[in-house]
């Protein structure tokens, strides 16, 4: 079976493929082209999204077979280009459309996602709706076969170059907050969509605020039933946490057969001759491996909600511990911007926020795994329009 995959991979990579680490730049075409070329190549065999049906760009692989495919690809090309721009489509929106979309919607969006031709962003958070996502106020009003969307989103990663946004909107303000929402796909090139980049402390300006003013969305782009937005959103969040855990895991990158690159780099620098650094490195390595196995378990479907939250928490812990270790091991040089690992060090705090904060993941585990009482919700049966928004 593996040999069979190896033969296919050898044929797939027979001619030149972009190699080497890709350095992200704000010039988006520069950033997108290598990843796009890579995905197109993999998609020729259905390997960019292996678990998807073949008619939508996958190859009908089971999760176990998909892992074998990814490991084979890593063996043949250990350093793929940066795929950050495409991750929402391939890891989060695609699987959500497969679950809740119509066959027409699957046929429209999934093949271009799998080839990297079209990029999605995830339009959930708003200034008054982050952890309390059900509090969103971006409004969608129906006019016959179309909807008009008005409102604001914030912290939207990838929006500046996205073609489509998966947008959670308020459709019935008179219902309690969890019941009056609907999910749409919005065209990011619509004249009613204005995207403004925001810069993070790690220098990255790939997340954005979005102002939506009278954007028109056909009803055919509604994902799920009117009023079922919360159910669709929960699928998105579970997919997001699973994808984040898997992407951050070294399982796919080093296929578990050799030490991860960060450990090899520490060894090459001689940092491991210090017993304190060596001890910390081994602790991080153990955390990383356990997190990788947890990610695999979450991805193979043994409980999306709690397993995905646990996997995301573990990966956050690993990311922070590794970033701090590499920073500390580089000594005084580590204080200089542009030194090895400074980007991860400055990115580490955001890992506790994106995809749901650590506290929110702990709440999920407390309620779903430990059986602790649910948080008190004073607004459960109150129409959203009259609830004390942002305070509950």
Ligand X SMILES: Cc1cc2nc3c(=O)[nH]c(=O)nc-3n(C[C@H](O)[C@H](O)[C@H](O)COP(=O)(O)OP(=O)(O)OC[C@H]3O[C@@H](n4cnc5c(N)ncnc54)[C@H](O)[C@@H]3O)c2cc1C
By the criterion CB under 6 A, which residues form the site for ligand X?
Answer: 121-125, 130-131, 155-157, 207, 350, 353-354, 356-357, 359-360, 363, 375
Q: Closer CB to ligand X, residue 224 or residue 355? A: 355
Give least dist CB 364 to ligand X, A.
11
Which residue's C-beta sits nearest to ligand X?
130
Give least dist CB 167 to ligand X, A.
9
Q: Closer CB to ligand X, residue 357 or residue 368? A: 357
Which two three-digit tokens encode residue 193?
């969509």
Give least dist CB 350 to ligand X, A.
4
Q: Closer CB to ligand X, residue 37 or residue 205? A: 205
Give least dist CB 325 to ligand X, A.
22
Q: Closer CB to ligand X, residue 304 or residue 346? A: 346
Q: Closer CB to ligand X, residue 133 or residue 296? A: 133
Q: Closer CB to ligand X, residue 207 or residue 345? A: 207
Give least dist CB 157 to ligand X, A.
3
**379 within 8 A of 392, measured Cβ to Cβ:** yes
Q: Closer CB to ligand X, residue 72 or residue 352? A: 352
**230 within 8 A of 181, measured Cβ to Cβ:** yes
Give least dist CB 214 to ligand X, A.
21
**141 within 8 A of 193, measured Cβ to Cβ:** no
Give least dist CB 344 to ligand X, A.
13
């Amino acid at each position: 079976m593996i040999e069979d995959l190896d033969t296919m991979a050898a044929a797939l990579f027979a001619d030149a493929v972009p190699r080497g680490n890709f350095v992200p730049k704000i010039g988006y075409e520069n950033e997108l082209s290598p990843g796009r070329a890579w995905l197109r190549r993999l998609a020729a065999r259905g390997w960019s999204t292996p678990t998807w049906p073949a008619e939508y760009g996958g190859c009908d692989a089971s999760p176990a077979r998909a892992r074998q495919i990814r490991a084979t690809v890593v063996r043949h090309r250990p350093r793929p280009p940066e795929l950050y721009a495409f991750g929402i489509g391939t890891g989060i929106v695609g699987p959500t459309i497969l679950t809740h979309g119509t066959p027409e919607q699957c046929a429209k969006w999934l093949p271009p996602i799998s080839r990297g031709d079209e990029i999605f962003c995830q339009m959930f958070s708003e200034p008054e709706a982050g952890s309390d996502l059900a509090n969103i106020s971006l409004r969608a009003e129906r006019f016959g076969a179309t909807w008009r969307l008005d409102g604001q989103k914030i912290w939207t990663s990838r929006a500046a170059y996205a073609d489509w946004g998966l947008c959670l909107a308020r459709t019935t303000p008179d219902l309690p907050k969890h019941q009056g929402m609907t999910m749409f796909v919005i065209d990011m090139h619509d004249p009613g969509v204005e995207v403004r980049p925001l810069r993070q402390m790690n220098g990255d300006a790939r997340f954005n605020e979005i102002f939506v003013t009278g954007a028109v969305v056909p009803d055919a782009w509604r994902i799920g039933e009117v009023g079922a937005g919360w159910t669709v959103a929960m699928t998105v969040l579970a997919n997001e946490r699973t994808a984040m855990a898997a992407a951050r895991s070294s399982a796919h990158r080093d296929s578990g057969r050799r030490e991860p690159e960060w450990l090899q780099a520490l060894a090459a620098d001689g940092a491991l001759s210090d017993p304190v650094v060596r001890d910390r490195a081994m602790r991080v390595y153990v955390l990383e491996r356990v997190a990788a196995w947890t990610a695999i378990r979450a991805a193979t479907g043994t409980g999306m909600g709690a397993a995905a939250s646990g996997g995301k928490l573990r990966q956050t812990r690993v990311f922070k511990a590794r970033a701090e270790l590499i920073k500390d091991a580089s000594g005084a040089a580590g204080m200089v911007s542009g030194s090895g690992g400074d980007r991860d060090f400055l990115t580490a705090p955001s890992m506790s926020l994106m995809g749901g904060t650590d506290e929110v993941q702990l709440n999920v585990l407390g309620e779903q795994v430990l059986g602790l009482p649910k948080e008190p919700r004073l607004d459960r049966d109150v129409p959203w329009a009259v609830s004390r928004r942002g305070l509950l």
